[in-house]
Chains A and B, each alone.
Chain A
Amino acid sequence: MSLNIHQLRHAAQGVKLGPIDLSVESGQCVCLSAPSGSGKTLLLRAIADLDRAVGECSIDGTARSAMTAPQWRRQVAYVPAEPGWWATTALEHFQQPDLSRLQALDLGLDESCLERPIEMLSTGERLRLAMVRALELKPAVLLLDEPTGALDTEATRLVEVELHKRLKDGMALLMVTHDTAQIGRFGASAHTLKDGYLAPLEEGARVS
């Protein structure tokens, strides 16, 4: 399914965003690469409806305002760079523990990660577990904030394999990443944020 963002505007903590127009088609990956403090996270929060923002978002023509916020967030799943946990172990956060256990293994996680206290896990492990939690919702659109920033090469590869699989199944992916090679591997169109506006990321000006 496709995500459409129309004239989205948001302002918080001294950063002003938009108006922003963006669409991510079914099976398409769009990357966002911009220096910190430029409002990338703000944009993802606004799309996920976590912050109050002006403008309209829709999936496959169905406006966000036409559904409840929980419905929207299940279809447009957002994984923040620093995900939160409300229970002790990762396993307790899953609605379908068996399915998610397999999914975790696919992402290169050790089985024991699921049952150890969250705070004992590494940043990379927590990030992948949060991705498992989001994928469990079978979202139409996935919003990722630097999903592989803390991962080693092998883990990054496994995450990308999974994302490619989802894209083939028709998911739309909007991803914040600073990895130029990664943008290339997804054959993604890349944008940056300049003074709160979306701009195409120039080949030469790509931040690495």
Chain B
Amino acid sequence: MISYVILSYSDIALAALLLIANAALSIWLRLGLERKLLIAATRMVVQLVIVGLVLKALFAVASPWLTALVMFVMVSFAGYEAQARQDRRFTGFWSWGLGTLSIAIAAIIVVLVALGTAVQPDPWYHPRYAIPLLGMLLGNTLTGVSLGLERLLSSVVRERVVIEARLLVGATSREALQGCIREAARAGLIPIINAMAATGLVALPGMMTGQILAGVEPVEAVKYQLLIMFLIAGCTALGLFMAVLGAARLLSDDRHRLRLDRLSDR
């Protein structure tokens, strides 16, 4: 039933020729982007070929330990990326620990739930399902978590006097930080809400398009896409929740003080 057109390397080379249009534009308008364009395109080719080869080897072996190792590497990169996007961060372990742990715990829970219920591959840990699922979850959760943390830390620093004014009339640190927590959670959820609202109208989601190109029935592809979007939304909310509440905890202590001394400027 499933049939797809296998691409030859010459097909891809032909498509790559379209980059000449970009290069021409850059030269014509003197954008000076030719070098960057070349490097970016080369990076893409090398990275994707390596990923393809790694996945191929991984699928052939289908070892749970190897799959776990690859997942660990992916999560580490996501955690690194989350802290690299922050202007302000915590000192010590939590500078990277907070983002990494929130993303990792949320993504692993949601991947396991998906593999145990909706997808149910055999064996359940087969990398062909686990790895792409994790990849999609990580990318989106990373966006939500970094936006949420960024917003929380910047608003707490900006609103220091206001937060302390609340503490001074006997508010708990949680009450004093409530406004900033809400603002941060909202900022982190906006992208996924926008993505859900616009999907199908503005753009066809990449995964669904891929499945359709690979010969899957459109309605079946839509079902998969819906599943993925719900998983992504749930994972983002879970990761955001942990990151923002965890950060709020780190920003206060048992004596309900505002602990900006635990933050370091970049």
Interface residue ranges, A against B (CB under 8 Å): 48-52, 68-71, 73-74, 77-80, 82-86, 93, 95, 130, 133-134, 136-137
Whether A86 contacts B255 in the complex (CB less than 8 A), given A71-B170, A73-B169, A133-B169, comes out as no
How many residues on chain B are close to A (CB under 8 Å)?
Answer: 21
Task: Identify the interface centre among B166, B256, B258: most chain A CB within 10 Å of its CB.
Answer: B256
Residues of B within 8 A of A84 (CB): 159-166
Cross-chain contact B169 with A50 (CB below 8 angstroms): no
Task: Check: B168 CB closer than 8 A to any chain A CB.
Answer: yes
Residues of A within 8 A of B163 (CB): 84
Residues of A within 8 A of B218 (CB): none
- Give the docked Cα–Cα distance between A134 and B170 (Å): 10
Task: Check: B167 CB closer than 8 A to any chain A CB.
Answer: yes
Within 8 A of A (CB), among B145-199: 159-172, 179
Cross-chain contact A68 with B162 (CB below 8 angstroms): no
- Give the docked Cα–Cα distance between A93 and B169 (Å): 10
Known A69-B167, A74-B169, A77-B168; further 13 A-B contacts with Cβ < 8 A: A50-B167, A52-B253, A52-B257, A69-B257, A73-B167, A73-B169, A84-B161, A84-B165, A84-B166, A86-B165, A86-B166, A86-B179, A136-B169
Cross-chain contact B171 with A70 (CB below 8 angstroms): yes
A-contact 0/1 string along B223-266, CB 8 Å cutoff:
00000000000000000000000000000010111110000000
- Give the docked Cα–Cα distance between A93 and B170 (Å): 13
Task: Specify the chain A residue showing the minimal Cβ separation from B255.
Answer: A69
Cross-chain contact A51 with B165 (CB below 8 angstroms): no
Return the contact of B168 from the options A50, A52, A68 (Cβ within 8 A): A50
Return the contact of A68 from the options B169, B256, B258, B259 (Cβ within 8 A): B256
The distance from the CB of A114 to the nearest CB of chain B, in whole angstroms, is 16
10 CB-based A-B contacts, threshold 8 Å: A48-B168, A49-B255, A49-B257, A52-B257, A69-B256, A73-B167, A77-B169, A84-B160, A84-B161, A84-B165
Residues of B within 8 A of A86 (CB): 162, 165-166, 179
Task: Specify the chain B residue showing the minimal Cβ separation from A75.
Answer: B170
Cross-chain contact B257 with A70 (CB below 8 angstroms): no
Residues of A within 8 A of B169 (CB): 73-74, 77, 93, 95, 133-134, 136-137
- Give the docked Cα–Cα distance between A95 and B253 (Å): 25
Cross-chain contact B170 with A51 (CB below 8 angstroms): no
The distance from the CB of B164 to the nearest CB of chain A, in whole angstroms, is 6
Interface residue ranges, B against A (CB under 8 Å): 159-172, 179, 253, 255-259
- Give the docked Cα–Cα distance between A52 and B260 (Å): 11
Task: Specify the chain A residue showing the minimal Cβ separation from B160.
Answer: A84
The distance from the CB of A78 to the nearest CB of chain B, in whole angstroms, is 6
The distance from the CB of B146 to the nearest CB of chain A, in whole angstroms, is 27
- Give the docked Cα–Cα distance between A64 and B102 (Å): 35
Return the contact of B172 from the options A70, A85, A93, A136 (Cβ within 8 A): A70
The distance from the CB of A58 to the nearest CB of chain B, in whole angstroms, is 15
The distance from the CB of B85 to the nearest CB of chain A, in whole angstroms, is 29
- Give the docked Cα–Cα distance between A28 and B51 (Å): 75
Cross-chain contact A50 with B170 (CB below 8 angstroms): no
Cross-chain contact A137 with B170 (CB below 8 angstroms): yes
- Give the docked Cα–Cα distance between A69 and B163 (Å): 15
Cross-chain contact B161 with A70 (CB below 8 angstroms): no
- Give the docked Cα–Cα distance between A84 and B258 (Å): 14
Task: Identify the interface centre among A68, A70, A74, A130: most chain B CB within 10 Å of its CB.
Answer: A70
Cross-chain contact B257 with A51 (CB below 8 angstroms): yes
Return the contact of A78 from the options B159, B168, B256, B257 (Cβ within 8 A): B168
Residues of B within 8 A of A93 (CB): 169
Task: Specify the chain B residue showing the minimal Cβ separation from A77.
Answer: B168
Task: Specify the chain B residue showing the minimal Cβ separation from A70.
Answer: B170
Whether A83 contacts B256 in the complex (CB less than 8 A), given A71-B170, A73-B170, comes out as no
- Give the docked Cα–Cα distance between A85 and B161 (Å): 8
Whether A70 contacts B164 in the complex (CB less than 8 A), given A86-B179, A133-B169, A134-B169, comes out as no
